[in-house]
Chain A
């Protein structure tokens, strides 16, 4: 190899090293800035989520109208006046709640008639995702509050279950909710107005929040004298489970 070609080789190598260093420097810069970018995007998303949540809570608090007839911090409607309190958490979209009502509704009313229990119905809305965005769970809970204000909670509750829509369908329309009300004697304009204006919908969300806060996750949830009652194999309690729990609570 001549000395001239050796020098060329050395120059080429030096150039390569400089280029490599430049490329490495560029990649280091890109990595740094894309890392910063990712962190900023994630933090921003978190902040947006938080502010959306507080905004929704504030707007719900502003819209909240608590039906004056509601008991238990304004989250339930009471039937009967017996010493043992049974809290019932139900969603009008929940088919298992309907099964529970069919199986035990008569027993519960019998216990009320015997002045053994006070039923406290909590109309929760946890199945809104099962009504194609029409939020049937919230709307039906709001409607039953309007019925309770007109003194017809139980009749309307029962007619809603008798006409329960398929889970995953659009649910009953507001017009149908008003029409079913008329069928049980809810003919006043205040009932229809409350449904059309969604007067008690924010309240339904509050009932649901209270339900969750108490540690309950599913419907139907049946609580006798502060203690959750289930069937022998889990699931919802049957008539005999209920009467046994009531007898035990009564002492």
Chain B
């Protein structure tokens, strides 16, 4: 990755710890998307209704978005689980999360009373139930932070990326006295 060179020697510990933090973030985010998609994929019509409940698009469009979304979420979850093109996968996850947060904020701002449909087919909210937008946004922001960690530090353990890339090459600047940066990327 660019921008790595010239890190002070005192950061060697950080260099060793970050891949593990990123690995936890990657697997956590994978679990989030696999769960979210898995809970919706069994009832695509309900997922479409949940999207339409946001009143942001026509019914037919919402139905298609609602049907495609759980498949995308599961695919993204699998990509993160495998660790393929982690920075790109995390970027896609971040874009999705920003869209979801935007949707919830707009539903809140317009005074809609809906279930966000984040981890369920959602849509409906019983007459006695109050919406929990604040908590839903907070939760999605937490997931966004996980994606942010991966965008910033995409090098993780147990990833396809690591297996394909092999050990990182020394930085381009010719300085023979440099310590070998061993095992950063596996």
How distant is the Cα of A100 from the Cα of B85 in the complex, in angstroms? 53
Q: Which residues in B have their C-beta under 8 angstroms from that of A50? A: 64, 67-68
Assess whether B71 is in contact with A45, with CB atoms less than 8 Å apart: yes
How distant is the Cα of A27 from the Cα of B164 in the complex, in angstroms? 8
Q: Which residues in B have their C-beta under 8 angstroms from that of A53? A: 44, 48, 63-64, 67-68
Assess whether B165 is in contact with A218, with CB atoms less than 8 Å apart: no
Q: Which residues in B have their C-beta under 8 angstroms from that of A17? A: 174
Choose from A208, A215, A218 the contact partner of B55 (Cβ within 8 Å): A215
Confirm or deny: A52 has a beta carbon within 8 angstroms of a beta carbon on chain B: yes
Assess whether B67 is in contact with A126, with CB atoms less than 8 Å apart: no
Listed stretches A18-26, A78-86, A107-115, A176-184; interface member: A18-26
Q: Which of B47-72 contact A (CB under 8 A)?
A: 48-49, 52-53, 55, 59, 63-64, 67-72
Contact with A along B6-22 (1 / 0, CB 8 A): 00000000000000000
Assess whether B164 is in contact with A30, with CB atoms less than 8 Å apart: yes
Q: Tell whether A235 pairs with B128 under 8 Å between CB atoms, given A30-B165, A42-B76.
A: yes
Give the residue name and chain of the B residue nearest to A127 (CB).
B124
Q: Which of B132-178 contact A (CB under 8 A)?
A: 160-161, 164-166, 168-170, 172, 174, 176
Give the residue name and chain of the A residue nearest to B1 (CB).
A27
How distant is the Cα of A212 from the Cα of B55 in the complex, in angstroms? 11
Q: Which residues in B have their C-beta under 8 angstroms from that of A76? A: none
Confirm or deny: B94 has a beta carbon within 8 angstroms of a beta carbon on chain A: no
Assess whether A212 is in contact with B67, with CB atoms less than 8 Å apart: no
Give the residue name and chain of the A residue nearest to B91 (CB).
A38
CB distance from B100 to the nearest CB of A (A): 16
How distant is the Cα of A133 from the Cα of B92 in the complex, in angstroms? 31
Contact with B along A233-247 (1 / 0, CB 8 A): 011100000000000
Give the residue name and chain of the B residue nearest to A211 (CB).
B49
**Which one of A16, A26, A41 has the greatest number of beta carbons of chain B within 10 Å?**
A41
Give the residue name and chain of the A residue nearest to B167 (CB).
A23
Give the residue name and chain of the B residue nearest to A212 (CB).
B49
Q: Which residues in B have their C-beta under 8 angstroms from that of A30? A: 161, 164-165
Q: Tell me how many residues of A have a C-beta within 8 Å of chain B.
A: 50
How distant is the Cα of A17 from the Cα of B48 in the complex, in angstroms? 55
Choose from B46, B72, B89, B124 the contact partner of A46 (Cβ within 8 Å): B72
Contact with B along A201-236 (1 / 0, CB 8 A): 000010011001101011110000000001100111
Confirm or deny: A34 has a beta carbon within 8 angstroms of a beta carbon on chain B: yes
Q: Which residues in B have their C-beta under 8 angstroms from that of A56? A: 44-45
How distant is the Cα of A34 from the Cα of B161 in the complex, in angstroms? 8
Q: Which residues in A have their C-beta under 8 angstroms from that of B164? A: 30, 34
Assess whether A52 is in contact with B44, with CB atoms less than 8 Å apart: yes
Assess whether B71 is in contact with A217, with CB atoms less than 8 Å apart: no
Q: Tell whether A235 pairs with B127 under 8 Å between CB atoms, given A20-B169, A45-B75, A53-B64.
A: yes
Assess whether B52 is in contact with A212, with CB atoms less than 8 Å apart: yes
Query: Could you pull out 13 A-B pairs where Cβ atoms are within 8 angstroms?
Result: A24-B169, A38-B92, A45-B72, A49-B68, A49-B72, A50-B64, A53-B63, A126-B49, A129-B120, A217-B123, A218-B125, A220-B127, A236-B127
Interface residues of A (CB under 8 A from B): 13, 16-17, 19-20, 23-24, 26-27, 30-31, 34-35, 37-38, 41-42, 44-46, 48-50, 52-53, 56, 94-96, 100, 126-129, 133, 205, 208-209, 212-213, 215, 217-220, 230-231, 234-236
The 9 residue pairs across chains A and B that have the minimum distance between CB atoms: A23-B169, A49-B71, A45-B75, A53-B67, A235-B127, A49-B68, A34-B85, A212-B49, A45-B71
